[in-house]
């Protein structure tokens, strides 16, 4: 085998709560996270010099040491000093700096792909630990599915699979820095927190309406203050038939739950033209 293709799926945060700030600067979170169909494809080929070469279809994405795929390779190369190297093509579909965890997903896929391709004797649990050092969401992106994430987001408990639903993802044409959103969050000012027990119980019952009623994210107020369009898109989604809509992660992407496929596509057409969006998709649960 001299190449491998790995899927790097995006995530949404169905519920996201921030409990406090830790002495190391990170925040303690509780979040129900869900893998979705929207994905990047990571193509990895073995090359005969011990180098890491990255290309991508997104012009502005760094392809040097700053790229999370590069960091993933470097972590493994430093440990195993291979005679071979890798050439990686990132075929990006997940919007960047969007709250959809695209960078963490690419990082997770690269760890899994490079281990497999270069046959590094690293156990899956060790790989999860390496992932954790590269980004709090990387272990979730390796594990995939429906999970409760705690701690800095890296302590995972698998939940019952989420019932099927059509998800409309709409990204306003702005990029949001996760670090900036967290630094602007005043924990004492949080008024409405997600009811995690209600979310988890709704998922256990596969009760889509109850899940939709409990979508909640404490970071919304911070990002919406800067980009009110997020609130307008949410409202438009529900007017166009979504059971409910929410901002994912630190934003700015809004996702809406639709029971009906035609409805979701009709809403996509409307919202795309009304808000002049470039990045808008219908996806499913994965």
Q: How far is the CB of 137 from ligand ATP (least distance, A)?
A: 5
Nearest alpha-carbon partner for 141 in 248, 18, 36, 283: 36
Which residue has the CB atom at the shortest distance from ligand ATP? 103
Neighbouring-strand partners of residue 247: 254
**C-beta of 197: minimal distance to ligand ATP in Å?**
24
CA atoms of 154 and 203, how far apart (whole Å): 21
Smallest separation, CB 266 to ligand ATP (Å): 27
Question: Which of 43, 122, 109 has the alpha carbon at shortest distance from 82?
Answer: 122
Q: Which is nearer to ligand ATP, 16 or 268 (CB)?
A: 16
Nearer to ligand ATP (CB atom), residue 103 or residue 194: 103
Q: Rounded to the nearest whole angstrom, what is the least distance from the CB of residue 48 to ligand ATP in the complex? A: 24
Interface residues toward ligand ATP, by CB under 6 A: 61-62, 66-69, 90, 96-104, 106, 137, 178, 249-250
Radius of gyration of the chain (CA): 19
Nearer to ligand ATP, 250 or 283 (CB): 250
Catalytic positions: 11, 137
Alpha-carbon distance of 148 to 156, in angstroms, equals 6
Q: Which helix (H) or strand (E) holds 19?
A: strand 3-21
Nearer to ligand ATP, 66 or 278 (CB): 66
State the CB neighbour count (10 A cutoff) for residue 191: 6
């Amino acid at each position: 085998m001299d190449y491998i293709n790995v899927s790097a799926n995006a995530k949404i945060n169905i519920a996201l709560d921030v409990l406090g700030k830790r002495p190391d600067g990170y925040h303690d979170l509780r979040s129900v996270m869900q893998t979705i169909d929207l994905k990047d494809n990571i193509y990895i080929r073995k090359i005969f010099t011990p180098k890491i070469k990255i290309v991508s279809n997104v012009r502005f994405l760094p392809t040097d040491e700053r790229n999370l795929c590069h960091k993933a390779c470097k972590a493994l190369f430093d440990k195993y000093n291979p005679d071979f190297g890798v050439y990686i093509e990132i075929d990006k579909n997940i919007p960047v700096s969007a709250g959809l965890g695209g960078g963490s997903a690419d990082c997770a896929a690269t760890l899994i792909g490079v281990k497999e391709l270069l046959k590094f004797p690293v156990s899956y649990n060790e790989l999860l630990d390496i992932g954790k050092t590269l980004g709090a969401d990387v272990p979730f992106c390796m594990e995939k599915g429906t999970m409760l994430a705690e701690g800095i987001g890296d302590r995972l408990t698998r939940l019952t699979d989420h019932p099927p639903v059509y998800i409309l993802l709409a990204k306003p044409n702005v990029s949001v820095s996760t670090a900036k959103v967290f630094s602007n969050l005043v924990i004492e000012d949080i008024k409405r927190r997600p009811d995690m027990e209600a979310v988890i119980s709704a998922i256990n019952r596969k009760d889509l309406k109850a899940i939709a009623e409990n979508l909640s994210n404490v970071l919304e107020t911070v990002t919406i203050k800067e980009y009110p369009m997020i609130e307008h898109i949410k409202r438009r989604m529900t007017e166009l038939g979504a059971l409910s809509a929410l901002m994912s992660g630190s934003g700015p992407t809004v996702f809406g739950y639709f029971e009906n496929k035609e409805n979701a596509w009709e809403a996509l057409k409307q919202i795309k033209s009304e808000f002049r969006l470039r990045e808008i998709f219908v996806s499913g649960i994965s």
